[in-house]
Amino acid sequence: MTRIRGFPPISEPGARILILGSMPSRESLARYRYYAHPRNAFWPILTSLLDLAQASYDEQAAQLAREGIAVWDVLKSCVRPGSLDSAIEEGTVEVNDFPGFFRAHPQVSRLFFNGAKAESLYLKHVLTTLDPRHARLPRFRLPSTSPANAGMTVEEKRDAWRVILKDREH
C-alpha cells in the first residue's frame, strides 16, 4: 500500500486558532488543497461564518490566515486505502511537528478538531509530545465537515462550527 503525505499548514505567524483535520482525502491530495472534495462543507461553512469573499482556493486560504485561523492535519503521513478516516492504518501514522508549529505560532490559544478522528489521533500521538503550556490549550471537537458525516445537514454543521467565532478574539 502506498504511503500518503499531507500538506504544510495554512497559517500566518499570528494565528490564534488552529483547526485540525486527520489527513487530506484522496480528492484533496490529487488537487493539493485542503478540503477539496466538492461536497465537503469546510469552505462553505468558513466562508459563511467569517464572511470571506467567494474567491479562488489560494485567496480563500490567504483570507482565512489573515483572520488568525490556521488549518493543518494531525498526520504528516500514513497508509490509508481510500479516503475514510476509519481506513487509516494505525501502525503507519506519522504526526506533524506540533512542537515546531507552536514555537512558530506562539499566539495559538485554541484548537478545533474537524471530526472525532482528528481529535483521537491528536490525543494519542501528539498531546504527550508537547510542553505543558501547549498540552493545556483548550481543545474542541467539531462535527466533521466531510460528506461521510451524513448524519448532519450543512446548516447543523455550520451552527456547531459557529463556536469558532467567539474564540477568534482571544
Catalytic residue set? 40
With CA atoms as reference, report the closest residue to 49 among 63, 30, 37.
Answer: 63
Pairing of strands 139-142, 110-114: parallel
Judge whether 127 and 135 are in contact, CB under 8 Å: yes
With CA atoms as reference, report the closest residue to 76 among 110, 15, 129, 122.
Answer: 122
Between CA 75 and CA 122 the distance in angstroms is 9
Nearby residues of 54 by Cβ (< 8 Å), 6 or more positions away: 47
Between CA 10 and CA 6 the distance in angstroms is 12
